[in-house]
Amino acid sequence: MIGATIILYKPELTQTLPLILSVLEQVDVLSIVDNSPVPTELSLVHDKLHYHHFPNNIGIAAAHNIGLRDLKAADCEYGILLDQDSSIDDDFAFRLSSLMVASRIEKRPLVAIGPRIICSFTDKTVKPRVQREISVYEDLVCVTQIISSGMMIDLSKLDRIGFKDESLFIDGVDHEWCWRAKQLNQLVAIAEKVEMVHQLGDARHKFAGVTYKVGSPIRLYYQFRNILILSRRGYVPWYWKSRNLMCMPIRFFANAFLQTNRLMRIKFMCCGVIDGLLKRDGSFHENW
List the chain domain ranges.
2-198, 203-287
Compute the average pLDDT of residues 7-29.
95
Phi and psi at 49, nearest 5°, equal: -110, 130
pLDDT in tens, 106-149: 999 999 999 999 877 666 676 665 566 666 677 899 999 999 99
pLDDT band at 208 (very low <50, low <70, confident <90, very high): low
> Which homologous superfamily is 2-198 in?
Spore Coat Polysaccharide Biosynthesis Protein SpsA; Chain A (3.90.550.10)
pLDDT band at 81 (very low <50, low <70, confident <90, very high): very high
DSSP 210-267: EEEEE--HHHHHHHHHHHHHHTT-TTS-HHHHHHHHHHHHHHHHHHHHSSSSHHHHHH
Query: How far is it, in rounded angstroms, from Cα 280 to Cα 167?
Result: 9
Beta carbons within 8 Å of 172's beta carbon, 6+ residues apart: 222, 223, 226, 227, 230
Compute the mean pLDDT over every residue in the chain, rounded to the nearest whole number: 91
Query: How far is it, in rounded angstroms, from Cα 202 to Cα 118?
Result: 15
pTM (predicted TM-score): 0.93
Decide: 195 and 116 in contact? Cβ < 8 Å.
yes
